[in-house]
Amino acid sequence: MKKIKEKISKKIISFLVINITSFYLIIFILLSLKNNLFNLLKLDLFISSFMINFRSYFLNNLFIFITNLADRISVILISIIIFTYLYKKKDKFDSYFYLINIIVGLILVESLKNIIKRLRPENQLVDMLNYSFPSGHTTFATIIALSIYFIYKDLFKEKLKSKYLMIIFIYPILIGFSRIFLNVHWLTDVIAGFSLGIFIVTFTYLIMNIFFENKKIKK
């Protein structure tokens, strides 16, 4: 019993560390951009200009296709499928866990965009009318991927979990890169999107597990 409690405590601490780190990374980026620290603005401008050199008919259309895999319609469809599947399996914990992550993500992304009001890069390959920070596509791709990881990670042996995590995260990484390639986001917008997605999912996971008396962490 003592070993089980220690194992649960270690997992809670590790998730908490990840959660706090992702939160402070967002704050760090915001403060650095606002006060022009660590040359982040110059880095954003350099990456934006650099990516333009690789444009071609094939790559442009490839990354437009990839980025559309995390647009609003795609996120809604993916979420309906995942939520319905989990709910029909009578796994209410996981279905509500996923739904809460998406709803919180929507609220925070829209709130941050309208509070910060950061303009997007010029020379976009696709027209985007709203504000830039953070990347909503990257945030939701991270939320979807990480939610799926937490829901199904216990089906894999300990040695395979890291590989499973790497495969799952190909999706948000490709989405994030596509946003930079299409020049609709700055690099720091995408990093903030990753961080926000991680923060939301780990926070929800911790709160729900504490509320349900470590239902998932015990596994």
Q: One digit per residue, pLDDT tens: the chain, 219 residues?
A: 444 455 556 678 888 999 999 999 999 999 998 887 778 899 999 999 999 999 999 999 999 999 999 999 999 999 999 999 888 887 788 899 999 999 999 999 999 999 999 999 988 888 888 899 999 999 999 999 999 988 887 776 666 667 777 788 899 999 999 999 999 999 999 999 999 999 999 999 998 877 775 555 444
Answer yes or no: is 218 within a domain: no
- Cβ atoms 200, 144 nearer than 8 A: no
Number of compact structural domains in the chain: 1
Neighbours of 156 (CB within 10 A): 14
Determine the pLDDT at residue 161.
66
Q: What is the pTM of this model?
A: 0.88
Answer yes or no: is 217 within a domain: no
Tokens of 165: 């995590």
Determine the pLDDT at residue 12.
80
Where does 3-44 show beta strands of DSSP type E? none
Answer yes or no: is 165 within a domain: yes
Determine the pLDDT at residue 4.
45
Determine the pLDDT at residue 163.
74
Q: Is the peptide bond prior to 172 cis by the omega test (within 30 degrees of 0)?
A: no
Report the C-alpha gap between 207 and 204 in whole angstroms: 5
Residue type (1 letter), 128 = M
Answer yes or no: is 183 within a domain: yes
Determine the pLDDT at residue 216.
53
Determine the pLDDT at residue 26.
95
Answer yes or no: is 104 within a domain: yes
Tokens of 74: 């795609």
Domain that holds residue 25: 2-211
Answer yes or no: is 17 within a domain: yes
